Amino acid sequence: MDVMKIKEVAERAKEMALLSGLQMRPAESPSSSDLIHHGPFTLFPSKIPSKLLSQAKEAQKDFNLMMHRVAHDHDFLYQSLKNVIKVDEFTKHLWDIYEAVKKEGPAQTKCLGLFRNDYMMDTGGTTNTNIDNLKLKQIEFNTIASSFGGLVSQLRDVH
pLDDT bin (cut points 50, 70, 90) of residue 128 is low
Most confident of 14-18, 20-24, 86-90, 101-105: 86-90
* Whole-number percent of the chain with pLDDT over 90: 38
Mean pLDDT of the chain, nearest integer: 86
Fold of 1-44: Dna Ligase; domain 1 (3.30.1490)
The structural domains of the chain, with segments of one domain joined by +, span 1-44, 45-156
Three-class secondary structure of residue 65 per DSSP? helix
Residue 26 has pLDDT above 80, yes or no: yes
Higher-scoring residue by pLDDT: 37, 93: 93
H-assigned helices in 20-148: 50-71, 74-87, 89-104
Mind listing the pLDDT tens digit for each residue in 44-97? 877 888 999 999 999 999 999 999 999 899 999 999 999 999 999 999 999 999
Instruction: Tell the burial category of 108 from Cβ atoms under 10 Å away from its Cβ (0-12, 13-18, 19+).
Output: exposed
Residue 105: HSE in the Cβ half-sphere, 13 Å Cα cutoff: 0
